[in-house]
Amino acid sequence: MTKKKTSAPKKQSGPSSHRHTHGQGHCVDLLRQLSAYIDDELPSDICREIRRHLGDCPNCEVFIASLQHTVTLCRHRPVPRLTSVDRVNMRRAILDAANAR
C-alpha cells in the first residue's frame, strides 16, 4: 500500500493573506482618520504617513479604495425627498441613538 502525497496548503494571495508586520494598531489609527483623509482635511505629513501605510498594507488599501468609491457614488446620487413624517422619525431615531450612549 502506498501513501498518498499530501500537498502543502496553498498560500492565499491578495489582501486576506496579508500579515501585518507593523501591528494592527496602526490600521486602527488609520481607520480613525479615514473621513478626514478622504475629504482631504489632514495635514500633508499625516497624508504622507497614511499613503505609506496603504502602500504596505493591502487590506487597508482595498478598504479605503472601496470607501472612496462609495463616497463618490453617494455624492452623485440625487437627494431623496423626505416627508414631514420621515423627518420627524429620522430626528427621533437620531436622538434616541445619541441618548443611548
99 vs 28, higher pLDDT:
99
pTM of the model: 0.50
The answer, yes or no, to whether residue 78 has pLDDT greater than 70, is yes
Per-residue burial over 76-88, b if 16 or more Cβ lie within 10 Å, else e, is eeeeeeeeeeeee
The answer, yes or no, to whether residue 87 has pLDDT greater than 70, is: yes
Q: How far apart are CA 53 and CA 96, in angstroms?
A: 37
Percent of the chain with pLDDT strictly greater than 90: 26
Q: How confident is the model at residue 93 (pLDDT cuts 50, 70, 90)?
A: very high
**Alpha-carbon span 41 to 83, nearest angstrom:** 34
